[in-house]
A = this chain, B = another copy of it.
Amino acid sequence: MKSHIVVPALSQIKLTEPLFASYIEQVTKKLLPYQWEVLNDRVPGVKPSYCVSNFRIAAGLEQGPHRGVVFCDTDAYKWLETLAYCLECGRGRELLPAAEELIGLIAAAQEPDGYLQTYFTIDHPELKWKNLTEGHELYGAGHLMEAAVAFHRATGNETILQVAIRLADLICRVFGDGPERCQGYPGHQEVELGLVKLYRLTRIRRYLDLARHFLEIRGRRPNYLMQELARTGKDRIFPEFADYDEKYAQTHLPPAEQRTAEGHAVRAMYMYSAMADIALECEDEGLKNACLELWRNVTERRMYITGGIGSSGHLERFTTDYDLPNDRMYCESCASVGLMMFGQRMAALTGSAAYYDTVERALCNTVLAGVQDQGDRYFYVNPLEVWPENCLPSTSMAHVKPVRQRWFDVACCPANIGRTLASLGQYLYARDEKSLYVNQLISSSVTERIRGVGLRLEMQAELREAFRAEFLLELEGEGSVMLRVRIPAWLEGHSFVLDGQPIRPAVENGYAVLALSRPGQQHLVLTGQTKPRWVAANSRVRADQGRLALAFGPYVYCLEQTDNGDNLSQIYVRPDTSVTVAPGDPALPGNLPALRFTGLRLESGVEKLYGAPSFRLTEQQLCAIPYGLWCNREPGEMSVWLKALLPALDLLSSGD
């Protein structure tokens, strides 16, 4: 039997690190109640979502047309999924009545044959499954399945599970091989992930088979989605997306043959995650190899230092290698959530810890940036450089918002961030038949039973220059368990001490491997160095040439106007600038430090628009904060990549 790396039940994981704990606390305290009000169109000043209202209409409880975006049912599904994870962790029971009301509505909105998407049920029954490019029915189905599996696991609720199963069974009848079935596949991938989760819960093989089918049929000639678009012509759900092309929904090649990240970034991440799932479940080497190459292409050529992806502001998509502009791109919050999902699955598929360097990069920077510390304001787009004055509507910067928004017409991100925070434990720990994996050095605890041995682990870690993570380990029962502790890329010169004795565990696949067999408590300490560091980009990243970013541990730092004045484009920093780790602003959540250093501010000396320069540099004390926490105080400019001042180098090596 093959070895599977899986996540312990979320109920067994408790996160105690102050920053993440505060965000997670807000999920039940603010994010879910707030989103529930938004989905019910009860928040003054927020444009109605119509989400719950559409379910009522589809259920026959109200009259009227469908309103809101075609896939806004998924906001409800992701809300339910988020709550499910909270419930599994013992929080949010006060929201159970709302959840049960919502589940009742969803069940009532489902048609007798299992069909479920309020847009088509209410207004366009004749178009069911006929606009897969834009209709998002399979996307909605996938989110329903994910929510149903999570909610069932957390509460035992059968209603929502049966809704999902009925819909899954309908999809199995409509799609698949054979001339009597639709030869289409999702315009927005997601159902594959839901089907795999439903399979893992129910062990009903046809769900897994259909997920695989959707990956295998994709990219075949003639191109199903392009043919469909040619049929629908200008009569589109999203007329502003007239630029659909084969790459947009990753249909340019069969997934197993894809080697570069193309098209819409969220669709890509969901598909690659599903490919990794299927590669694991079906031991499909072709899909696995594609996943390995796609991961490399994304993380080595098309990813921002913040773990953001999607370089084009238009169509939220990938562009080309090393094209990483800092102000106009998309870097959708959902895309970085998707990158975390993909990375987690790649780690499960390969057993390698390195994927968690990227998961952590996306989590600590872009995903964290996507939500206000209070949980009720969100970024959809996550630029690395913001000048609020040019974020103007009806321009090429219209998609970039200088402050987090209360909601969006297309509101995928708020709930996606919610479910990620609510289930954060899944990215911290994993297990297989003999090992417990510690994937993040973030204060938390976990209990697990492996090979009949009960294991409790409590980790205390704090991001400081002299890094130290303490583990309290408690074994119960006879036998041995392997403990695999990821050594993050940012940790230098790690060493372990077990009960006072230095030990040198082997490092395999990026994990320090310790065999534990002594019952009772043990005390493990991991130490190492993690100084603030200046980071540069590969010379082919044109947008970042001659620039430096500041990082500390997994966190990328940025300058904000509120700390450093406006016009951050004038700021220079010497590459050898020493950085002081200082107490963070108490106005920010958690206890991450601020980083202080001396930079320079350039004045061009040009009074008019253009003229002869009389450059003048003056020193300025600067203060950087974690990018993930930007815009939690006074709004203003923000910048990650600072200009490097390169004098000494010039003197040293000019003339080759």
A600 touches B654 (CB 8 A): yes
Q: A301-B609, A535-B612, A615-B644 are in contact. Are A319 and B654 (CB under 8 A)?
A: no
Which residues of chain B have C-beta atoms less than 8 A from A446's C-beta?
A: none
* Extra inter-chain contacts (20) besides given A537-B609, A617-B653, CB under 8 Å: A234-B239, A240-B242, A243-B398, A305-B610, A311-B390, A312-B392, A314-B398, A317-B394, A319-B390, A323-B390, A387-B542, A536-B606, A536-B615, A545-B570, A546-B602, A546-B643, A615-B644, A615-B646, A618-B654, A618-B655
Point out the residue from B242, B243, B603, B645 that lies within 8 Å of A650, measured CB to CB: B645
A323-B389, A651-B647 in contact; A539/B240 too (CB < 8 A)?
A: no
User: Contacts A606-B539, A656-B618 known; A613 to B534 CB distance under 8 Å?
Assistant: yes
Contact of A545 among B299, B548, B604 (CB under 8 A): B604
CB-defined A-B contacts under 8 Å, sample of 10: A239-B242, A314-B398, A317-B395, A538-B604, A545-B569, A545-B570, A545-B604, A600-B650, A618-B655, A647-B651
The reply to whether the CB of A479 lies closer than 8 angstroms to some CB of chain B is no
- Indicate if A607 sits at the interface (CB-CB under 8 A): yes
Q: Does A294 contact B (CB under 8 A)?
A: no
Asked if residues B314 and A536 are in contact (CB atoms below 8 Å), the reply is no
Cβ < 8 Å to B, chain A residues 363-388: 387
Query: A387: which B residues are within 8 A, CB to CB?
Result: 323, 542
> Which residues on the B side are within 8 Å of A609 (C-beta)?
299-301, 303, 537-538, 541
Q: A37 in the interface, Cβ–Cβ < 8 Å?
A: no
Task: Tell me the complex Cα distance, A264–B248, Å.
Answer: 29
A600 to B328, CA, bound (A): 28
**Whole-angstrom distance between the alpha carbons of A242 and B567 in the complex?**
32
Is A289 in the interface zone, CB < 8 Å from B?
Answer: no
Q: Quick one: closest B residue to A639, CB to CB? A: B542
A651 to B314, CA, bound (A): 43
Q: Which residues of B contact A538 (CB under 8 A)?
A: 604, 606-611
Q: A605 near B: Cβ within 8 Å?
A: yes
A301 to chain B, nearest CB (A): 7
B395 touches A314 (CB 8 A): yes
Bound-complex Cα distance A605 to B548 (A): 13
Q: Check A2 for interface membership: any CB of B closer than 8 A.
A: no
Q: Is A396 an interface residue (CB 8 A)?
A: yes
- Which residue of B has the minimal Cβ distance to A545? B569
Contact with B along A10-40 (1 / 0, CB 8 A): 0000000000000000000000000000000
**In the complex the two chains form, is B646's CB within 8 Å of A645's CB?**
yes
A615 to B609, CA, bound (A): 32
Quick check: is A397 within 8 A (CB to CB) of the other chain? yes
Using A390-B319, A536-B606, A647-B647 as known contacts, say yes or no to A619 and B654 having CB atoms under 8 A apart: yes
Q: Across the two chains, which residue of chain B brings its CB closest to A537?
A: B610
Is A230 interfacial (CB 8 A cutoff)? no
Measured between beta carbons, the chain B residues less than 8 angstroms from A1 are none
Given A239-B239, A323-B390: A617 and B646 within 8 A (CB)? Answer: yes
**Interface hits, A231-279 → B, CB 8 Å:** 234, 239-240, 242-245, 247-248
A→B interface (CB under 8 Å)? 234, 239-240, 242-245, 247-248, 299-301, 303, 305, 311-315, 317, 319-321, 323, 325, 327-328, 387, 389-390, 392-398, 533-543, 545-546, 548-549, 567, 569-570, 572, 574-575, 600, 602-613, 615-619, 643-651, 653-656
Q: A397 CA to B567 CA in the complex, in Å?
A: 25
In the assembled complex, the Cα of A654 lies from the Cα of B244 at a distance in Å of 52
| Chain B residues near A245 (CB-CB < 8 A) | 393-394
Residues of chain B with a CB closer than 8 A to A313's CB: 396
Q: Closest CB of chain B to A556's CB: distance in Å? A: 9
B537 contacts A606, C-beta separation under 8 Å: yes
* Nearest Cβ on chain B to A134's Cβ, whole angstroms: 15
Report yes or no: A646 in contact with B572, Cβ–Cβ below 8 A. yes
Give the CA-CA distance A243 to B543 in the complex, in Å.
Answer: 29
Q: Which chain B residue lies CB-closest to A314?
A: B396
Q: Take A392-B320, A537-B609, A613-B535 as given contacts and tell me if A618 and B653 are in contact as well, using a CB distance cutoff of 8 Å.
A: yes
A600, A645, A646: residue with the most chain B Cβ atoms closer than 10 Å: A646
By the criterion CB–CB under 8 Å, are A243 and B649 in contact? no
Most chain-B CB neighbours within 10 Å: which of A239, A533, A534, A539?
A: A539
Q: Select A328's contact among B317, B328, B542, B648, beta carbons within 8 Å.
A: B328
The closest CB in chain B to the CB of A247 belongs to B394
Contact between chains at B602 and A646 (CB < 8 Å): yes
A655 and B619 form a contact (CB under 8 A): yes
Shortest C-beta distance, A154 to chain B (Å), equals 38
Q: How far is the CB of A32 from chain B (nearest CB, A)?
A: 34
Taking CB atoms, residues of chain B closer than 8 Å to A653 are: 616-618
CB-CB < 8 A to A300: which residues of B?
608-609
Q: Return chain B residues, CB-CB under 8 Å to A234.
A: 239
Is A604 within 8 A of B539, CB to CB? yes
Q: Which residue of B lies closest to A533 (CB)?
A: B612
Contact between B650 and A650, CB atoms less than 8 A apart: no
**CB-CB nearest 4 A-B residue pairs:** A647-B647, A536-B613, A542-B569, A312-B395
List, in ascending order, chain B residues with CB within 8 A of A325's CB. Answer: 327-328
A248 to B600, Cβ gap below 8 A? no
In the assembled complex, the Cα of A389 lies from the Cα of B321 at a distance in Å of 9
A546 touching B572 in the complex, CB below 8 Å, given contacts A314-B398, A604-B539: yes
For A320, the chain B residues whose CB sits under 8 A away are 389-390, 392
> Across the two chains, which residue of chain B brings its CB closest to A245?
B394
Look across to chain B and name the residue whose beta carbon is closest to the beta carbon of A620: B656
CB distance from A242 to the nearest CB of B (A): 6
- Nearest-CB residue, chain B, relative to A312: B395
Residues of B contacting A312 in the complex (Cβ-Cβ under 8 angstroms): 392, 395-397
CA distance A292 to B574 in the complex (A): 44
